[in-house]
Amino acid sequence: MNALKRFWNWLLGKTTIDEQVVEAYQDGKKKVKVITDEVKERIAAVKEELADVKEAVEEVVDQAEDVVGAATGKKRPGRKPAAKKKAAAKKPAAAKDAPAKPAAKKRGRPKKKK
């Protein structure tokens, strides 16, 4: 190993300064490329995580507003009760030209006779 190192140093001593500068420049250029690629990947990952954090913070703000509303006595928002849905869903009678539909059969258990 020591002989190889001495040979390498002897070979480098035979080259000109220009060749050494060019070699150092190319090595440095490769290292810079590797580092910039790594930094770009890290930046992309950080941006993605910040987007996730932003969504989570927005959800926390919404939940905090709900807590404040609950503390003040506001009813909880959510789905409408079935009774209100049916009343809102009723539509006016069909057009006069349309034939009347037969009455639908009742489903479920028959009622007990007394």
- Mean pLDDT, consecutive 10-residue segments, the chain of 114 residues? 85 75 89 96 96 94 87 76 67 57 64 66
Largest CA distance in the chain: 119
Please tell me the distance from the alpha carbon of residue 76 to that of residue 25, in angstroms, as a whole number: 67
What pLDDT score was predicted for residue 92? 57
What pLDDT score was predicted for residue 52? 95
Do the beta carbons of residue 20 and residue 12 sit within 8 Å?
yes
pTM (predicted TM-score): 0.43
What pLDDT score was predicted for residue 94? 53
